[in-house]
Chains A and B, each alone.
Chain A
Amino acid sequence: MTKPLLEVEDLRVRFHLRTGTVEAVRGVSFQLGRERLGIVGESGSGKSQTGRAILGLTPPPGEVTAGRLAFDGIDLLTASRRTLRTLRGGRISMVMQDPKYSLNPVMTIGEQIIEAYQAHAKAGRGEARDRALAMLEAVKMRDPGRVFALYPHEVSGGMGQRAMIAMMLVTEPDLLIADEPTSALDVTVSMEILRILDELVSERGMGLIFISHDLKLVSSFCDRVLVMYAGRVVEELEAKHLREAKHPYTQGLMSCLPTLANDVRPLPTLNRDPAWAQ
């Protein structure tokens, strides 16, 4: 790995509220190459805010500061809105959790993919249409032509999520941020989605940030995992070495899940140490 695709150094996200300032992300640093990076944590750990901050999607009144936040050498903090617009959806894209809320309900799936493509590439309608259909086929839609003309409410959750992935990948991004892309889906469907993401990452050499609460899933899918707790990265490790996790929080997260293999009763629970949040 020569130059990292994404450099994040001391990233902080603060929300100034009436009741005081809440720091949702507190000094997160990592580098990403063309690999699969997982960010795992429980609700409120700041994992989603980290993903959003990279794209500049922190909702107001949030404030983002960082020592360095750069994508392919471009400083995202000082970049103009215009530059950000060309990056977002073009070279960096994001797959959200629930296709029900993140697709446009009054546009057909095909139109939405065409719109995404034409926003970033100078292409005629015919070409955009061909690209959209090819993309729908790449995400294993059985009948791309039919799905193209459907509205989001006419497709199942799994198909909606595949349509969103198609839309995000049609511009051939270098970095894909997937925020709980399979949490709203059934297990067998989510395995299918992961297989598609996996193929696309290895075929195109894309960088992937996979944000999830599911430690087991992330460790079986990603190369490297960051474990977040209370806005900080408490541990970074190779996914295959997850069992040798050192931090008590990671260990606790691992052991508190019931498994089919072992019948542990009662399940060990997590005793949160205030020191972890320091």
Chain B
Amino acid sequence: MLDIQNLHVVFGTGRLRVEAVKNVSFHVAAGESYGLVGESGSGKSTVLRAICGLAPISDGRVSVDGREVTTPRGKDFYRTVQMVFQDPYASLHPRHTVDRILSEPLAIHGEKDAEARILQALREVGLGSSFRFRYPHQLSGGQRQRIAIARALILRPKVLLLDEPTSALDASVQAEILNLLDELRRKMGLTYILVSHDLAVVAHLCERLLVMRHGEAIEETSAAALRTSQASNSYTQSLIQASQGYSRAAPDSTSIAV
């Protein structure tokens, strides 16, 4: 479904040149859920942004459904691939109602029957029609993220790019959104690429994942291996350990050069 070959992303030139992503390759099959894990500055979000055209592809290939993507991306691309951002407080237009937020992608793509589609999209993410004419500030964080997911799904894409979809939310709301994403994938046969710093979230939602650090791919592994703490790479090991909470006895395995 999605194939990334030797992706490089470079920002700036000369003295300001930063190689945010260095030679990253991975393949995601249709219906699969793939995780990108790493700490801040590891380039995991940049990979996602390069796929959907928000960051430049400096070198390498990105193909969706067997076809290499063009720059700028065409309408077809956005019918296939949609993105959900981290912070639902920042990613929804504060002066647009839910109705307007959801009808915009439909208008851009010349879809008919907007009303029915909007109501259906709201139902799919577990919100009633009563939410249709509210503004984002009248919604809780979890409800906003549901609207962001509805907006991404309203064009019936095959691939959903999820950039830390739950890290701005409370633990109990995170559980609701994770359940929703799980259920939607099963129902609609979606392909996910999930970026997160939380190993437990990635292991919950994804089958396979890539650990990134300083823009490079460190290790490709599976959720099953994570659950049994089988990681060949010491960095992955230290991430697993850190995700178990603070340990007084632990040696200084975490004091890796920052």
Interfacial residues, chain A to chain B (CB-CB below 8 A): 42-43, 140, 156-159, 186-192, 194-195, 198, 213-217, 219-221, 252-253, 256-261, 263, 265-270
Contact = CB atoms under 8 A, between A and B. Distances in A.
DSSP class of B's interface residues: helix, strand, loop or mixed? helix
Contacts of B248: 198
Nearest 10 CB-CB pairings of A with B:
A220-B245, A186-B39, A270-B172, A256-B175, A258-B204, A187-B242, A267-B175, A42-B170, A266-B179, A191-B254
14 contacts: A156-B258, A158-B258, A188-B254, A221-B245, A256-B174, A257-B200, A259-B200, A260-B200, A260-B227, A260-B240, A266-B183, A267-B179, A269-B172, A269-B176
- Contact-residue size bin, chain B (C-beta under 8 Å from the other chain): 35 or more
B182 A213 contact: no
B134 to A, nearest CB: 18
Contacts of A198: 246, 248
Interface of B: 39-40, 141, 170-172, 174-176, 178-179, 182-183, 197, 199-201, 203-204, 226-227, 229, 238-240, 242-248, 250, 252, 254-256, 258
Given A191-B254, A258-B203, A263-B227, A217 B170 contact: no
A221 B258 contact: no
A184 to B, nearest CB: 9
A259 B245 CA distance: 11
B242 A194 contact: no
A213 B258 CA distance: 25
Q: Which of A191, A256, A263: most chain B Cβ within 10 A?
A: A191
B198 to A, nearest CB: 8
A224 to B, nearest CB: 15
Contacts of B200: 257-260
Contacts of B250: 191
A5 to B, nearest CB: 22
B205 to A, nearest CB: 8
Contacts of B244: 220, 260
Given A192-B255, A258-B201, A42 B39 contact: no
A220 B248 CA distance: 8
A226 B200 CA distance: 25
Nearest to B141: A43
